[in-house]
Amino acid sequence: MDRDRAPAAAPTPRRGAADPVRTLLHRHRELCERAVDPLEIAAGLEAHGVTDRTAARFRHRDVFSLAEEMYARIARGTGTPPRPEHHDEPRTGAGWIVLSLLPGALGAATVAGLHLAAGRTRPALAAIGALSVALAVRALLRRGPLSPSGPGRTGPHPPGARAWTCWLLVYAVLGDGLLGAAVGGGPDELPDGTPTGPWPLTTVPVLALALACAPACWAAHLFAVRARRRLTVSRGLDEFAASVRPLLLAVFAGFLCALAGLLAVCGRVLHEPAGLAQTLPLGALLLLTRLLATHGSTHAPAVALGAAAWAEVTAQASVFAGRLPGCDPLAVPVDTLLTAWGPGSVPALACGAAATVLLVHATRTLTRASAHAPTGTQP
């Protein structure tokens, strides 16, 4: 009787249960169709919140293997063979190498002219030099490693980011001198463009930062190239993040060492204080801001720049407000800070705190695969 019993038919699973990848494929079909390799799909999936744990629900060990299957399926579904994988890496070019050296060269020429000129020609020369350096930096930020890469990363910057950057740079030149003069009851005259005037002007920080454009470009280029290579060999998002985080910290530390060397050289040549304590945090803040903007993150850098700038504005305003009748307590915090550590402590603390917060944010943002996708796949 058992032999006459027909074998039980196996239950027909539902399409979604039998093929869990198909739903995901339809949901991200546009991403898969425009991808030139599986890495773009993996970065896009991560940008949409798909993690290695999520990939396990689709019967894959990680997002990378899931992306490989989706890439192969979309190629078969469209009737075209998979395109050969090519992992574009940022290349060195003579154009951006020259541009990276141009701000420093123009800044050095301007400072040399200020030391040789005298009288009324100094303000005009300073204005022309500052304009030329600003135009050179603007050209550099539009081309090369410090420029946004990918069609999805060329959007407008948040309002105020450029204004805050300009304020921080102007403060590096005039802020410490103004703050020191204000605490002593001044300034009695406008700055005369010298480090020994009634309102001292400091040229070492901005000259060193202009010269540091070249190390910043190489740091950004090295980070982009090495991160892209590690993206091709990593087999999981956690593995990729763990391998890129030390790279980011090493590039960041290398840039700070280069900036410290430039500050020391400029200070010796110009016979001025190097200003390491206040300029290194500013340089770190500007580098992290640009690295994040290059890889598609602009909101957090703008907030950090604004916070540092407002801290400096508040410090200056509190000193002048303390001169008003009955407002002496407003100047006590800044007076105490200056008595202990000098005028350079204000930008050191303001930019240092902002750079520290931004570094923590960068170690989370720039270690994501979606930050290094060749096209704009960030949410």
User: DSSP letters of 171-240?
Assistant: HHHHHHHHHHHHHTT---S---SSTTSSS----HHHHHHHHTHHHHHHHHHHHHHHHHHHHHH-SSHHHH
pLDDT at res. 132? 94
Q: Could you say which DSSP state residue 153 is in?
A: G
pTM, rounded to two decimals:
0.79
Q: What is the token pair recorded at 258?
A: 């280069």
Q: What is the token pair recorded at 192?
A: 């005369």
3-state secondary structure of 367: coil
Distance CA(135)–CA(68), nearest Å, equals 44
Per-residue burial over 244-266, b if 16 or more Cβ lie within 10 Å, else e, is beebbeebbeebbebbbebbeeb
pLDDT at res. 61? 67
Question: Cβ contacts of residue 204 below 8 Å, gap of 6+?
Answer: 263, 266, 267, 270, 272, 273, 274, 275, 279
pLDDT at res. 79? 42
CA-wise closest residue to 291 among 181, 198, 235, 217: 217
Q: What is the torsion angle, in degrees rounded to the nearest 10, for the CA atoms of residue 296, residue 297, residue 301 and residue 303?
A: 140
Question: In which residue ranges of the chain is pLDDT below 70?
Answer: 1-21, 23-26, 28-40, 43, 47-49, 52, 55-59, 61-62, 67-69, 71-93, 119, 149-159, 188, 191-197, 234-236, 373-379
Q: Which residue has the tokens 């006459």?
A: 4
CB contact at 8 A, 291 and 220? yes
State the burial class of residue 337 (Cβ atoms within 10 Å of its Cβ: 0-12, 13-18, 19+): middle
Position 376, amino acid: G
Q: Which residue has the tokens 């985080």?
A: 245
State the burial class of residue 339 (Cβ atoms within 10 Å of its Cβ: 0-12, 13-18, 19+): exposed
CB contact at 8 A, 357 and 304? yes
Element (H, E) at 29: helix 29-34
Distance CA(311)–CA(317), nearest Å, equals 10
pLDDT at res. 95? 78
Q: Which residue has the tokens 């030149």?
A: 173
Distance CA(287)–CA(351), nearest Å, equals 12
Distance CA(251)–CA(295), nearest Å, equals 15
Question: Can you say whether residue 202 is alpha, beta or left, with left for phi > 0 and alpha for psi between -120 and 50 degrees?
Answer: beta
Position 73, amino acid: R
**pLDDT tens digits along 274-327:** 889 999 999 999 999 999 988 888 889 999 999 999 999 999 888 888 888 888
Distance CA(122)–CA(129), nearest Å, equals 10
Distance CA(23)–CA(152), nearest Å, equals 26
Distance CA(64)–CA(29), nearest Å, equals 17
Q: For the chain, percent helix, then strand, then coil, each to nearest 5?
A: 70, 0, 30
Q: What is the token pair recorded at 229?
A: 């290579």
